[in-house]
Every structure is written in structure tokens, then in C-alpha cells.
């Protein structure tokens, strides 16, 4: 018999941590005894449980179970230091490496708990023993001799707790992905949340800290469905602190500004336009001739739209390349690994990320960011939201609706809020 005591603390009943601990242990072929249990008397009191985890198979089996339990927030008391092993070659991990969750993580080094920088899922943790710092690294960034965390000792995970304030947007967390929800009400809640985050961001700015705010991840359907103007308005109003998109969104945004069409369909009339199928290539050609989107703005060629507002309002953007791209625009980062690094930096410290009508960029961004960022995914296909959550971005709230009309109503609601709070 192989055994290990573990501890669970906090709102372990509310947040289902206790339930998950029991489930995981049994699902994985282990067993448990409850050694101690103190439940918080009042809703604000934390609870505490001490469990004995048992494997009848092997020490390795026990350790696998323990690793899973840690990933949902279990602590191993009297914990030893984290185990480190050096990588033998670039991009090659030592045996038994620890694979990260997207939750906030700590490692114990020389008896001290160190916060791991830049949480993201499916990475490893490297430790610099001299500076006593730890951070997540993806496999391709591993260098020979990097100290990589192996096993499960000396690791502590803090998953996000379910918010308790009544009427909050993020109460929806974990609810079903369904199109049959009152949409105006949901839009009002998202608007309210955005409004508050903007206030906070501006306060931060005044204090000299450029952190927080909202990042938008968007696909070209925003433009095709007629939501481009509304999104440009959001940028102008200060609700966007970073834009993560691809060549298509930028190209069709430019197309809609220069020619009034998206993929050749007139946005005002919904009719196909004479020669319209060439417009997006025209748009790329115009930007190529100017040099870049920024050049086109400065030369007065591009005078409105999403990309214009980004440049005009100093909102950083990343256009990540994909094999679907026509052109692409000179601003596109065609190397996917380089693009990921830029994307990760753009979302890491944001308060909220809103994903709009793009499966590719949504899942990509979800993979790169910590679970503590509030995440809303708006798409007409429930499958997009399901996939995003299946792939680990379980903090996401899904809103199944039509992005074109959603954005129009969201912009109106934000304008109303701004007017009411002037």
C-alpha cells in the first residue's frame, strides 16, 4: 500500500474542489480516507480537509494521482522542495517533467514559496536557482541545462474561486452553452463589466501603471456581418487595450473602409458589388503600396475603421499569419511561433479577453493566458465555445449569438453607460 496525506483549504465545497478530489482519486484507480474535516461555519469561512490518498498499485501510480490532485488545488503538507532536472538538449525535456495548468502556481525552493511567472497551460516550469525565480516555458524555448521542474513535489496550484457577488456576469461560469438566453440582458452585463474595467484601467494609467484593460480577439466575420463599425467605435471609446487578429480581419476592415464591401458584399445593402471579389486584393495592394497599415493612416489613405482607430489611439495589435491568408498584409507576422510570443505578451496582464467569431484565434489565445483573466467567447457556433472549453480554457463564458448584431447592441449599451456616468 502506498499512501500520502494531502490537504485542501479554502472554499473547497463551493468550488467543488473536494468533490473533484474524491472523483479524481477514484476515477484514477486510487482510494482515500478522510482524516480530518472542518467545514466553514459561515459562507465566508474557509473549509479544511486532510485526506489520505492510497494506491494499492505502486509509488508511481500514487504520484500520478497526487499530481492530478495538485492540479485542482490540493497541497501536500510538510512539502519538500520542488525537484529540478536539467534539460540535456535544446527543446528536450527531462523525464517526468511537470506540465502546467493555466492557474496561478507556486514552487517551493529552499523552503520558500515562489510565484511562477506567466501562467499558461501545457508548458513546463523552469527555475533559475541564482535569482530564485520561476516561470513557465513552452517546450520550444527550453535550452540545454535549463532547470526544469519534475515530479509533483513542492508545487502549489491556486485555481480561481467562483465569484460570489450576486448579479455578476461571471456567475454564469460553468453554465450550459446555449443560444437560448436573454441576449439584451447578457449584453448589458458584459457592457457593465467592460465599463468598470475601463475605469480601473484609466485609474491605473494615471498612477503610471499600464496594466489591466480589455483585449479583443476577433475574426473577419465581424466585418462580414456588419459589426466592423461598432468594433471601431469600441476602440475609439477606449474599450480595447489590445487587438489579436489575423490578416483577414485587417484586410476586410480596410476593404470595408476603402470600398464599402466585405468579401465583395456591400455592407450597406447586402448586395454583391461589381468586381467586388477583387476588393480585398485591392485593399492589400493599397497597404503594400503605402508600406504598412500605419503608413496608410499617416498618408491619409485609411481614415476610419478598426485598424485606423487602433493606430489613432495607440492600441497595440498583432496580426498573426495563417495558411488561409491572401497577401498577406505587410503587418502580418507570418511565423506562428513568433506570433504566439507577441500574443502572449498582449493578454498576460489583461483583466478581460473577449473572443469574437474566430475558433482559431480564440483557442490560440486561450492556450496562452492564465485562467485568472475573465474570458467571454461570442460565436454563432456553440461548437466554438465547446472546443475552447474542452481545450482547457474552462473559465470562458460562452455567448452563442450573431456577432454582427451583438456588436451593434454592445456599442449602444456602452454609449448609454458613458452618458449616464458623465
Distance from C-alpha of 119 to C-alpha of 127, rounded to nearest angstrom: 14
Nearest Cα residue to 260 out of 237, 283, 243: 283
Binding to its own copies by residue 408, rule CB under 8 A?
Answer: yes
Question: Could you give the string, one character per residue 53-72, with x where binding to its own copies holds by CB under 8 A and - elsewhere?
Answer: --------x--xx-xx----
Among 278, 294, 304, 312, binds its own copies (CB under 8 A): 278
Among 206, 268, 420, 422, binds its own copies (CB under 8 A): 268
Q: 201 or 259, CB closer to its own copies?
A: 259
β-bridge pairing 47-55 and 31-38: antiparallel
Among 233, 280, 350, 374, binds its own copies (CB under 8 A): 280
Residue 205 CB, shortest distance to its own copies, in Å, is: 29
Binding to its own copies by residue 1, rule CB under 8 A?
Answer: no
Binding to its own copies by residue 144, rule CB under 8 A?
Answer: no
Half-sphere exposure (Cβ direction) of 164: Cα atoms closer than 13 Å? 6
- Number of residues located near its own copies, criterion CB under 8 A: 119
Structure letter (DSSP) for residue 75: B
Give 390-414 as a DSSP string.
HTT-TTPEEEES-HHHHHHHHHHHH
Among 267, 293, 310, 346, binds its own copies (CB under 8 A): 267
Query: Are residues 89 and 40 in contact, defined by beta-carbon separation less than 8 angstroms?
Result: no
Binding to its own copies by residue 401, rule CB under 8 A?
Answer: yes
Structure letter (DSSP) for residue 226: T
Q: How many CB atoms lie within 10 A of CB 292?
A: 14
Stretch 301-330 residues interacting with its own copies (CB under 8 A): 320-328, 330
Binding to its own copies by residue 166, rule CB under 8 A?
Answer: yes
Stretch 197-256 residues interacting with its own copies (CB under 8 A): 221, 224-226
Question: Could you give the string, one character per residue 358-387, with x where binding to its own copies holds by CB under 8 A and - elsewhere?
Answer: -xxx-xx--x------------xxxx--xx
Distance from C-alpha of 15 to C-alpha of 161, rounded to nearest angstrom: 6
Stretch 107-126 residues interacting with its own copies (CB under 8 A): 122, 124
Binding to its own copies by residue 99, rule CB under 8 A?
Answer: yes
Torsion of CA 346, 348, 353, 356, to 10 degrees: 50
Amino acid at each position: 500500500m502506498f499512501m500520502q496525506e494531502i490537504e485542501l483549504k479554502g472554499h473547497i465545497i463551493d468550488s467543488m474542489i473536494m468533490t473533484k478530489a474524491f472523483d479524481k482519486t477514484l476515477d484514477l484507480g486510487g482510494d482515500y480516507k478522510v482524516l480530518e474535516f472542518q467545514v466553514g461555519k459561515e459562507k465566508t469561512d474557509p473549509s479544511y480537509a486532510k485526506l489520505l490518498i492510497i494506491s494499492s498499485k505502486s509509488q508511481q501510480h500514487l504520484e500520478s494521482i497526487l499530481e492530478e490532485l495538485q492540479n485542482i488545488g490540493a497541497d501536500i503538507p510538510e512539502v519538500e522542495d520542488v525537484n529540478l532536472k536539467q534539460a540535456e538538449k535544446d527543446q528536450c525535456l527531462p523525464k517526468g517533467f511537470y506540465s502546467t495548468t493555466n492557474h496561478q502556481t507556486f514552487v517551493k525552493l529552499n523552503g520558500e514559496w515562489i510565484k511562477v511567472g506567466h501562467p499558461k497551460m501545457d508548458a513546463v516550469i523552469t527555475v533559475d536557482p541564482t535569482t530564485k525565480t520561476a516561470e513557465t516555458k513552452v517546450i520550444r524555448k527550453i535550452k540545454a541545462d535549463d532547470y526544469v521542474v519534475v515530479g509533483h513535489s513542492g508545487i502549489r496550484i491556486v485555481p480561481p474561486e467562483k465569484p460570489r457577488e450576486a448579479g455578476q456576469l461571471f456567475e454564469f461560469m460553468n453554465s450550459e452553452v446555449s443560444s437560448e438566453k436573454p441576449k439584451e440582458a447578457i449584453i448589458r452585463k458584459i457592457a457593465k463589466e467592460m465599463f468598470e474595467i475601463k475605469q480601473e484601467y484609466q485609474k491605473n494609467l494615471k498612477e503610471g501603471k499600464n496594466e489591466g484593460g480589455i483585449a479583443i480577439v476577433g475574426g473577419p466575420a465581424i466585418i462580414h456581418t456588419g459589426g466592423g463599425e461598432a468594433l471601431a467605435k469600441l476602440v475609439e471609446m477606449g474599450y480595447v487595450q489590445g487587438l489579436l487578429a489575423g490578416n483577414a480581419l485587417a484586410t476586410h476592415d480596410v476593404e470595408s473602409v476603402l470600398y464599402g464591401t466585405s468579401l465583395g458584399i456591400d455592407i450597406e445593402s447586402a448586395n454583391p458589388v461589381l468586381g467586388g471579389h477583387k476588393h480585398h486584393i485591392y485593399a492589400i495592394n493599397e497597404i503594400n503600396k503605402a508600406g504598412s497599415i500605419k503608413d496608410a493612416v499617416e498618408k491619409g489613405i485609411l481614415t476610419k475603421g478598426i485598424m485606423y482607430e487602433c493606430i489613432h489611439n495607440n492600441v497595440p495589435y498583432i496580426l498573426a499569419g495563417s495558411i488561409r491568408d491572401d497577401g498577406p498584409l505587410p503587418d502580418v507576422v507570418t511565423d506562428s511561433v513568433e506570433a504566439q510570443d507577441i500574443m502572449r505578451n498582449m493578454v498576460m496582464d489583461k483583466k478581460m479577453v473577449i473572443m469574437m467569431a474566430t475558433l482559431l484565434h480564440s483557442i490560440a489565445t486561450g492556450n496562452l493566458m492564465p485562467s485568472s483573466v475573465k474570458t467571454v467567447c461570442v460565436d454563432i457556433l456553440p461548437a466554438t465555445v465547446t472546443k475552447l472549453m474542452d481545450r482547457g480554457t474552462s473559465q470562458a463564458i460562452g455567448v452563442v449569438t450573431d456577432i454582427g448584431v451583438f456588436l451593434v447592441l454592445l456599442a449602444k449599451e456602452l454609449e448609454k453607460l458613458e452618458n449616464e456616468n458623465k
